[in-house]
Amino acid sequence: MTAHPVSPILLDRSQAWQVIDTQRLGLAGLLDDLSEHEWQQPSLCDGWTVRDVAAHLTLQQLGARAAIAMMLRYRGDTDRAIRECACQRAAALSTGQIIAAIRGMTGSRRHNFGVTYRETLIDILIHAQDIAIPLGRRHPMPPEAAATAVTRIWTMRWPPPFPPRRAMQQFRITASDTAWAAGHGPQIQAPISAILLLSAGRLAALPQLAGDGAAELTARLRRRSSARRTG
């Protein structure tokens, strides 16, 4: 068996942008309905509030000059640059401005310098769930879009892939709701949305795992998360 994903259902560029548009509009509608208290709640993105994540999603169309200036300012530390820019954006914009910015990108086909439309798809799919899940809100994720995003995560070399992928590749993981499978080893089944979230380090999806390897993968990902927080 190969560690590379097997998925006959992958979105092309046009289809991916259509999903991105739908996700942006749906998320903007969800954000319209939040109380001020909910905006301040922790998201699934470690250390980020719902407001921080929403503000980050307004920064999806940086051109070359802005992207290079940001990296020079933070001396190439991508994680720090992303986090601090999101927090600054969250402080600078009103709630209404954040929502309007997300909604206003609908129909645009611009993406951040240095990445592709696939990274924009990954961002909106995962970060929308970062907001919705801890608030108990429902924000549907199309299985074929999730499969496209997971395939990108499991095959990408740049930007650097999410670390959980290494642990997950040691198991045979099969989606229970679409034709997607990858890895080799003990068997695990899960909805493709859960596979996507776990591939990006969102442990909230762990209860959705089933199969002979579920307990071991759960333990490995929890140990990795704990070590990263204390290291």
**d(C-alpha 151, C-alpha 137), whole Å:** 26
Binned at pLDDT 50, 70 and 90, residue 231 comes out as: low
210 phi, psi to nearest 5 deg: -140, 160
What is the predicted pLDDT for the residue at 2? 44
The neighbour count for residue 130, using CB atoms within 10 Å, is 25
What is the predicted pLDDT for the residue at 70? 75
Question: Shortest CA distance to 49 belongs to which of 79, 97, 89?
Answer: 89
Provide the mean pLDDT of the chain: 92
Contact call for residues 102 and 59 (beta carbons, < 8 A): no
Question: Shortest CA distance to 39 belongs to which of 103, 76, 77, 94?
Answer: 94
Question: Shortest CA distance to 52 belongs to which of 67, 40, 66, 64?
Answer: 40
Strands (E) in the chain, as ranges, are 172-175, 181-182, 187-190
Does CATH number 1.20.120 belong to domain 13-141? Answer: yes
* Each residue's pLDDT tens digit, 122-175: 999 999 999 999 999 999 999 999 999 999 999 988 777 788 998 999 999 999
Q: Which two tokens stand for residue 162?
A: 């999410």
- Tokens 């809100």, residue? 137
- What is the pTM assigned to this prediction? 0.91
Residue-range domain boundaries for the chain: 13-141, 144-230
SS3 category, 92? helix
Is 228's pLDDT higher than 90? no
Angle at 141 between CA 34 and CA 155, to 5 degrees: 125
**d(C-alpha 186, C-alpha 214), whole Å:** 8
